[in-house]
Amino acid sequence: MRRYFYTLQLLLKNPRLVADPFVDDQPSDFAHPFRMLIYSVVISVALLLPGFVIADFPAFRTDGILESEITRLIGVWISSVDFKAFTWLLPLYMAALLIPALSIAGLFFYREVLPGFYRNLILNCYLMNLVVLAQIVLIPVWIVAGAHYTEPAIYRYLPALTAGSLLLRSYQLYFRPTKALMWVRILSVIATGYIIFVFISGFINSFAGYLAFAVNRIAETAF
pLDDT in tens, 32-69: 999 999 999 999 999 888 877 776 666 555 444 445 67
pLDDT of residue 180: 93
Helices (H), the chain: 2-13, 16-23, 33-55, 69-85, 90-93, 99-109, 117-134, 139-145, 152-155, 158-175, 180-222
Please say if the pLDDT value at position 194 is more than 50.
yes
Dihedral class, residue 176 (left if φ above 0, else alpha if ψ from -120 to 50, else beta): left
CA-to-CA distance for 144 and 70, rounded, in angstroms?
33
Cβ 205 vs Cβ 85: under 8 Å: yes
The verdict on pTM exceeding 0.85 is yes
70-115 pLDDT, tens digit per residue, is 777 777 888 888 888 888 888 999 999 999 999 999 999 998 899 8
- The whole domain housing 192 covers 2-222
Q: Mean pLDDT lowest for which of 87-96, 125-134, 138-147, 214-223?
A: 214-223
Supply the DSSP symbol for 26.
-
pLDDT of residue 175: 94
CA-to-CA distance for 168 and 125, rounded, in angstroms?
15
pLDDT of residue 59: 57
Residue 40: Cβ within 10 Å count? 21
Our count of domains for the chain comes to 1
CA atoms within 13 A on the CB side of 201: 28
Q: What is the mean pLDDT of residues 163-186?
A: 94
Q: What angle do CA 116, 167, 122 make, to 5 degrees?
A: 30
Q: What is the mean pLDDT of residues 171-175?
A: 94
